[in-house]
Structure 1
Amino acid sequence: MFEAPLPTIDTDPWRPIVLAYAPAARRGALSALLALDDRLADLIRTTSEPALGQLRLAWWREALARLDSQSPPSEPALQGLAMSVLPLGISGESLVPIVHGWEVLIEEPELGLAALRRFGEGRGHLFVAAGAAMAAASGDPVAAAGQGWALVDLARNLRAPIEAAEARAMATPLLDEAAAARWSRNGRALGALAHLARMDLRLPDGMHPHKGAPHRVGRLLWHRLTGK
């Protein structure tokens, strides 16, 4: 099952670069959405009892929906969404599918293809929301990129080698689709995340890219300049 925490801005050297690719006025929205994903990842990582995990995720589903009618509680991730995402016309209710995606890891003792697909579609909805928040172009493949990104990151944090291999196999065509597109300027932060995930597919198990790896820096710079 899911074992390690996802990288955050404090541990992932690439995240500040990705955030810099977002439109300045919308950068806070992307940061807030990624913070929500970090928070849910940490919840899954620290939950050993499925029933307790479902209760905690139910609280998040309800809390996200309540953002549309109430002030946020004293939870930094929710306050960040209320401050930076909701004013852009993205409802709290529309973010609930992200929670449903993470819930798959608690509901399913084994991750078959159907469960992996549900996880990718649910968690990958983060990119759909971020694309709307950043006014990305309609042609930007945000859904495919989000699903591929979610599955690759999951694969790198799974204990079961077979499940991890299936997640990578499912992610590959999605990320190929994302890499083949020419992303709009407003969507290039999400395209950069997709390119990083695609490069992660080629890393051996347990290996993490070195900070400032030249080929990664060069690939992201080319994407920033051209959208490819």
Structure 2
Amino acid sequence: MITLHHVPQSRSMRSLWLLHELEIDFQVIVHPFDRSLRDPAFLSLSPAGRVPALEIEGERMFETGAITQYLCERFSPDRFGRRVDDPDRMAWLVWLHFAETISQHAAALTQQHVALREDHMRSPIVMKLEASRISKCYDALEARLSTPIENRDYLLTSGFSAADISVGQAVYMARHFATLDAHPETAAWYERITARPAFQASLPRDGEKLFEQSFFAPWPLEG
């Protein structure tokens, strides 16, 4: 049995999305976004107290990139992964891990807007810089998706893969802080991939949302 430890609207959402795409048996344990992730029992699964953590046949994994690569290589090396000798293998690895570049900026903004509950704790400078860095990541996606290659609907020439899942989930998080208005190809790609049933199945249910609103302005509102 595969068990995914998950916090809604966190990085573990990309593991949940991939598991739905793979259509394999798994179960989900949902955790709150609080200090319970620092409990010794959870730290035995993920030593940094972060999600996702994955239990599979008595073994334990953490880190989304490692989990994605393992699941693809084991269950779908050609459809969602790319084999070592595949021409798209290099691009698959690059974009798979580019998701973390986006996510680190979204995580910094999540801390500013969600974890730091009092306005005086927040830094308008950090909020502005991190939102700008997300836009730079969008620039990279826009350039990739604008490449004049026939049927450039996804990040890889060979079609949809776990790279789209990982980056797509990172963009899902980032869109809470920076819009895609200036990136039309990226916006069209995002709409394509998030229409997939497996993405819809990975969305938080009522009462599970980490973010209380759909968009946070980069600068705090003044009273």
Fold-level similarity (TM above 0.5): no
Q: Of the two structures, which has the highest relative contact order with CA contacts closer than 8 Å and spacing of 6 or more? A: 2
Please classify the TM superposition score into its range, dividing by the shorter chain length.
0.3 to 0.5
Q: Which has the larger radius of gyration?
A: 2
TM-score, structure 1 length as denominator? 0.42
Per residue, is there more helix in 1 or in 2?
1
**TM-score using structure 2 length:** 0.43
Between Structure 1 and Structure 2, which shows a larger proportion of strand residues?
2
